[in-house]
Chain A
Amino acid sequence: MSNRNPQLNRNGTLQHLLSTEGLPVSILLNILDAAESFVGVTERDVKKVPLLRGKSIFNLFFEPSTRTRTTFEIAAKRLSADVFNLNIAVSAQTKGETLLDTVDNLSAMNADMFVVRHAQSGASHLIANHVQSDIHVINAGDGRHAHPTQALLDMFTIRHYKRDFHNLRVAIIGDILHSRVARSQIHALTTLGVPEVRVIAPKTLLPSMVDRLGVRVYNDMSKGLKDIDVLMMLRLQNERMQAANLPSPEEYFKYYGLTSEKLSLARPDAIVMHPGPMNRGVEIDSSVADGKQSVILPQVTFGIAVRMAVMSILASSQVSGT
Chain B
Amino acid sequence: MKSIQLPDAEKLFNNLVKEIQQDGPKDFALVGIRTGGVWLAERLHRKFSVTQPLGMLDVSFYRDDFNKIGLHAQVKRSEIPIVVDGAHILLVDDVLQTGRTIRAAINQLFDYGRPATISLAALVDRDGRELPIAAQYIGAKLELPAEKKLELQCANDGKLSLSLYDKNPAPTV
Q: Which residues does A use to contact B, with CB under 8 Å?
A: 13, 30, 33-34, 36-37, 39-41, 44-46, 48-51, 312-313, 315-317, 319-320
Is B79 among interface residues, defined by CB-CB distance under 8 A? yes
Using Cβ atoms and an 8 Å threshold, which residues of chain B touch A44? 111-112
Which residues of chain B have C-beta atoms less than 8 A from A34's C-beta?
A: 71, 75
Number of chain B residues whose Cβ lies closer than 8 Å to a Cβ of chain A: 25
Residue B70 at the chain A interface, CB threshold 8 Å = yes
In the bound complex, CA of A25 to CA of B171 (Å): 22
- For the complex, give the distance between the alpha carbons of A49 and B75 in Å: 14
- Complex CA gap A17/B113 in Å reads 35
Query: Cβ of B49 < 8 Å from any Cβ of A?
Result: no
* A39→B69 contact, CB < 8 A: no
Closest 8 pairs (CB-CB, A-B): A316-B70, A49-B61, A46-B111, A40-B77, A320-B173, A316-B71, A37-B77, A319-B70
**Contact status of A316 and B173, CB under 8 A, knowing A34-B71, A41-B61, A50-B61:** yes
Is the CB–CB distance between B71 and A48 below 8 Å? no
Nearest-Cβ distance from residue B35 to partner chain A, whole angstroms: 14
- CB of B102, distance to nearest CB on chain A (Å): 16
Q: Are A48 and B79 in contact (CB under 8 A)?
A: no
Interface residue ranges, B against A (CB under 8 Å): 58, 60-62, 66-71, 73-79, 107-108, 111-113, 171-173
The reply to whether A319 and B62 form a contact with Cβ atoms under 8 Å apart is no
B61 near A51: Cβ-Cβ < 8 Å? yes
Whether B66 pairs with A33 at a CB distance below 8 angstroms is no
Residues of chain B within 8 A of A40, CB atoms compared: 77-79
Alpha-carbon distance A320/B67, docked complex (angstroms): 10
Q: Are B78 and A319 in contact (CB under 8 A)?
A: no
CB contact under 8 A between A37 and B111, given known A312-B71, A319-B67, A320-B171? no
Q: A39-B77, A45-B112, A316-B173 are in contact. List 14 more A-B contacts (CB 8 A).
A: A13-B173, A33-B75, A37-B58, A37-B75, A37-B78, A40-B78, A41-B61, A41-B78, A44-B111, A45-B111, A49-B111, A51-B71, A315-B70, A319-B70
**A316 to B112 Cα, complex, angstroms:** 25
Can you list 8 A-B contacts with CB-CB less than 8 angstroms, sorted by A residue number?
A34-B75, A36-B77, A37-B60, A37-B76, A45-B112, A46-B111, A51-B61, A320-B70
Known: A33-B75, A37-B58. A316 touches B66 (CB 8 A): yes
> Cβ of A36: which chain B residues have Cβ within 8 Å of it?
77
Query: In the assembly, what is the distance between CA of A277 and CA of B61, in Å?
Result: 32
**Cβ of B73 and Cβ of A37 under 8 Å apart?**
no
Name the distance in Å between A29's Cβ and chain B's nearest Cβ: 10
* Residues in B whose Cβ lies below 8 Å from that of A37: 58, 60-61, 75-78
Chain A residues within an 8 Å CB radius of B112: 44-46
Task: Check A49 against B62 for contact (C-beta < 8 Å).
Answer: yes
The contact of B69 among A48, A51, A320, by CB within 8 Å, is A320
- In the bound assembly, the distance between CA atoms of A50 and B61 in angstroms comes to 7
Bound-complex Cα distance A34 to B74 (A)? 8
Of B61, B62, B70, B108, which is in contact with the most chain A CB atoms at under 10 Å from its CB? B61
For residue B67, which residues in chain A have a CB less than 8 angstroms away from its CB? 319
